[in-house]
Structure 1
Amino acid sequence: MALNVYFAAGKDIWPEYRDAIRAASAKRGLAVNLSDSAPDPAAVDYIVYAPTESLSDFGPFTRCKAVLSLWAGVERIAPNPTLTQPLCRMVDDGLTEGMVEWVTGHVLRHHLGMDAHILGQDGVWRHGVKPPLARDRRVTILGLGELGTSCAKALAQLNFPVTGWSRTEKAIEGIACLSGEAGLAEALARADILVTLLPRTAATENLMNAERFACMPMGSFLINPGRGALIDDDALLAALDAGRIAQATLDVFRVEPLPPGHPFWAHPKVTVTPHVAADTRTATAAGVVAENIRRGEAGEPFLYLVDRKLGY
């Protein structure tokens, strides 16, 4: 008997995911009845979900064994009081590789001072300023989940001394791992370049405020591909104007698209990128969805199950 899978992740991406999920399911020996139209909630076995969809009441889906998010971030669904089913976030190789490439590119951009040459095509021979070697430029990554850990390892391979910070204690070979409030202050003090890859929770809202920016070395760099709410915008602007932060590259914002009148657009020390650091890739994401359906049917633990107390 075919499993009923409701694709509640948006009409715009339905055509590309339809065949991919069906193919990934068939590869695992699963017969699925996949639909993006409003079904009988009591007949749905699994929901493939993204917050762009209007679905907000999960109560009627009494047979549903799991909600499988296509997004890595789940802050817009995890607090939903009607969601009593297991919730799985998206972790897939394509998304992780994309984030590693974006973060590594912008770390190297700031480390090497590329903007001075790319933007300064004005006939001035700027030979006097040389960057240090990577081994002399310290990088701190806030957040040591799948994305943060992968970025930390990639940067360590390039010889950057990498410090990672997480709320709970972790150990990663080649990475100096810190945790807790005291560990955060130390991690920031080591951050010649800071990369923020934490999820948005009550504990991380405005984590980077004036007090935390003051812990960082003078003239350091900030790269945020995590969540816009991690940053106190006014505190960042003040830190930029004071020279505490030399440059900031921001990919995520509290309101997206970033409003045209926002100060970040016009600030000479801010680079705005339009939430492109990492996207879910259809082929690999479909495999994760199908694998979790297989696990659910086999009675095996789900991959990337969200801890509702922590919010990720």
Structure 2
Amino acid sequence: MSMPDKQAPAANQARGILFCPTASNADLLQEALEAARGDRPLWIWPDVPSPEKVACLVAFRPPPGVFEGLAALRLVHGVGAGVNALRDAPGRPAGVPLCRVVAEELDQGMAQHIIHAILRETRDHRLYDEQQRARIWKRLTQRHACDITVGIMGLGALGLATARPLRQLGYNLVGWSRSRKSAEGIESFAGPAEMGTFLSRSDFLVVLLPITAETHGILDATALSKLPRGAVVVAVGRGGQVDEAALLAALDSGHLSHAHLDVFETEPLPADSALWAHPGVTLTPHIAASPHPLAVARLVMENLSRIERGEPPLHAVDEARGY
């Protein structure tokens, strides 16, 4: 007969939720958690009157020391698709599930952001904006989707959700991922050995990879040089995957025609970064996609209830893979 778990009584009594309001939409997330929590206590960091009763920590970027005293913690939950700040946080207890958000609104928002960037380039709206300011009436030769290949780097939920409408719009699609994927209308490439061929086919490169030790800096000068001349980079996954200095050099040389960047090595982007004023860069402050706060709150409650019932939570991070 196995010995009883000495921490089980404390864990069973702990039902509280601790929310760290570090996300940009923290007020809305707090309201959603309040609406969805039922009779569970909800505490807002740094006000934690009963740390021993915290069963779930909800955060985007956890503040230093947040895990101290959370002896009965049973779930760490992110508020978006990326949880690298939580994954790498000092003091995160081993063995406690870490979950990310997978939601329809997140998929839709990401697809909208990427398609907007691609259409802005393929239909020359960025150039037409310049012509309007200069009062120039000039029709440019239209590029057709059937002559353009979009490469999606990362074929997870967000990558596949983006691929479907792009395929309906008539673009050719290739995809690259750690392991080979099978998806309708996407020619799949996998692993380091096939990355060069994938890049050489990508007139538009959409970067949607998770951030791991293997993907940090994956798009360096050598990788960017394998893209077709005039290619466009759309980086919306995680900062640190595109070598920013190498990207600027590729834009300056004319090898790349433009870059749409939503994620960066350092966020907020430093005021002295050359990316701000570069004519070949369109940047946004990490806003490509965000799930509805109520969807986040409902998922947190569902996962906490599943753990209490002894069931595996939804969308848990694989600790070995890092995502």
- TM-score, normalisation: structure 2: 0.88
Once the two structures are superposed, what CA deviation does each residue of 1:20-59 show, in whole Å capped at 9, x if it has no partner? 2243344xxxx311121214332211111221x4244536
Corresponding residue for 2:28? 16
Residues 109-158 of structure 1, C-alpha deviations (whole Å, 9 max, x = no match): 1111111101222232322x323211211000111122111111221121
Counterpart residue number, 1:72: 81
Q: State the match for 2:254 in structure 1.
A: 243
The answer for the alignment partner of 1:38 in structure 2 is: 48
For structure 1, which segment, 77-86 or 213-222, has the greater mean C-alpha deviation from structure 2 after superposition?
A: 77-86
CA contact (8 A) 1:210 1:235 kept: yes
2:286, 2:199 → 1: CA distance? 24
Is the deviation greater in 32-41 or in 283-292? 32-41
Letter in 2 for 1:124: I
Deviates further, 105-114 or 276-285: 276-285
Q: How big is the shift at 1:180?
A: 0.3
Instruction: Show the 5 A alignment for 1:71-150.
Output: 71-80=80-89, 82-83=91-92, 84=94, 85-121=96-132, 122-127=134-139, 129-150=140-161
Tell me which residue corresponds to 2:7: none
Q: Does 1:50 align with 2:60?
A: yes
Aligned counterpart, 2:4: none
Cα root mean square deviation, aligned: 2.0
1:173 shift after superposition: 1.9
1:6 aligns with 2:18: yes
Tell me the amino acid that sits aligned with residue 157 of structure 2.
Answer: E
Alignment of 1:155-174 (within 5 A): 155-174=166-185
| Amino acid of the structure 1 residue aligned with 2:309 | A
Q: Select which of 282, 302, 316 maps to 1:291.
A: 302
Name which structure has the greater RCO, CA cutoff 8 Å, separation 6+: 1
> In structure 2, do the counterparts of structure 1 residues 11 and 245 end up closer, same or farther at CA, with 3 Å as the change threshold?
closer
Which amino acid in 2 is paired with 1:34? L
Aligned counterpart, 1:300: 311
Give a deviation string over 1:180-213, Cα, whole Å, max 9, x none.
0122112111110111011221111111111111
CA distance in 2, matches of 1:58, 1:201: 23
CA contact (8 A) 1:153 1:175 kept: no
- What secondary structure is seen at the aligned counterpart in 2 of 1:247? strand
Partners of 1:197 and 1:186 in 2: CA distance: 18
Give the Cα–Cα distance (whole angstroms) in 2 for the partners of residues 10 and 250 of structure 1. Answer: 22
Give the secondary-structure state (helix, strand or coil) at the position aligned to 2:205. strand
Identify if the C-alpha distance between structure 1 residues 248 and 14 changes in structure 2 by more than 3 Å, giving closer, same or farther.
closer
Distance 1:223 1:165 in 2: 15
1:170-181 matches, within 5 Å, as: 170-181=181-192
Q: For residue 210 of structure 2, what is the aligned residue in structure 1?
A: 199
SS for the counterpart of 2:250 is helix
Of 75-84 and 274-283, the range deviating more from structure 2 = 75-84
Q: Once the two structures are aligned, what percentage of the paired residues are identical? A: 36
Which residue type is aligned with residue 117 of structure 1?
Y
- Partner of 1:266, secondary structure, is coil
| Equivalent in 269, 275, 284 of residue 264 of structure 1 | 275
User: In the aligned structure 1, how far is the partner of 2:222 from the partner of 2:113?
Assistant: 28
Contact 1:22 1:32 in 2 (8 A): no
Following superposition, the deviation at residue 249 of structure 1 comes to 1.0
Out of 227, 230, 246, the position equivalent to 1:216 is 227
**Alpha-carbon distance, 1:306 to partner:** 0.6
After TM superposition, the structure 1 stretch with the greater mean CA deviation from structure 2, 291-300 or 105-114, is 291-300
Native 8 Å contact 1:74 1:311 kept in 2: no
Q: How many residues align?
A: 306
- Unpaired segments ≥5 residues, structure 2: 1-12
* Structure-2 change in CA distance of 1:12 and 1:189 (3 Å): closer
Quick check: 1:73–1:199 contact (8 Å CA) kept in 2? yes
Compare 133-142 and 283-292 and name the one that shifted more. Answer: 283-292
Quote the offset at 1:163 in angstroms: 1.0
Q: Which amino acid in 1 is paired with 2:109?
A: G
Q: TM-score, normalised by structure 1?
A: 0.91
